[in-house]
Amino acid sequence: MSSVRGGLAGVATAALAVAAHGFAGGGYPGSSGLMLLVLVTAALGALAAAVRPRAALPLLMVAGQPACHIALSGLVAHGHAAHAMEFTDHGPMLAAHAVAGLGCALLILVAERLYTLISRAVAVVLTRPRGLPVAAARMRRPWSVPTPKTLLAAGASGPRAPPVAA
């Protein structure tokens, strides 16, 4: 499941970085900027697949947004290529990248959890039932079933006959 998380993190980071960058007025990348962005997000996806605690994914994706911003603003001619390292000075750009990173990470974690729940439910439905466990097979019933001998001793002439007059 970690490779799926890494692939989703890489692809979603690239898509949301371009969308957040364009939404904040930064412009959209050309072919060389897009290639640099793909390299950055591939490294981020590999790192997201290798990280063990799932709770670290939002931090990793928010930390990857400045790297995506540098990749986008360094090669995109939209007026602030010289100030690519001044990520925090542009408020809407910082907010757009942070919201994109957090939202994407939370969606990936929710999708991963839903995938786990649904795959378990499908496995339970498609699994063939087995016999009772050994402990359940040895259990005795708490009640006793009357046999014909006990019914005859109580005065009946048979198991379904009316009682004999005394």
Name the CA dihedral angle for 49, 54, 58, 60, rounded to a multiple of 10 degrees. Answer: -40
The confidence score (pLDDT) of residue 119 equals: 92
- For residue 52, is pLDDT > 90? no
Q: What mean pLDDT is predicted for residues 29-48?
A: 84
Given pLDDT bands bounded at 50, 70 and 90, which one contains residue 13? confident
Q: What mean pLDDT is predicted for residues 134-159?
A: 58
Residues whose CB is less than 8 angstroms from the CB of residue 63 and which lie 6 or more positions away in sequence, other chains included: none
d(CA 44, CA 71) in angstroms, rounded, equals 13
For residues 123 and 93, the model is more confident at 123
| CA nearest neighbour of 20 among 135, 103, 82 | 103
Question: What is the residue-averaged pLDDT of the chain?
Answer: 75
In this prediction the pTM is: 0.59
- For residue 38, is pLDDT > 80? yes
For the ranges 84-88, 113-117, 131-135, the one whose mean pLDDT is highest:
113-117
| CA nearest neighbour of 3 among 117, 102, 112, 127 | 112
The confidence score (pLDDT) of residue 70 equals: 79
Q: What mean pLDDT is predicted for residues 140-145?
A: 60
The confidence score (pLDDT) of residue 81 equals: 47
The confidence score (pLDDT) of residue 143 equals: 62
The confidence score (pLDDT) of residue 141 equals: 59
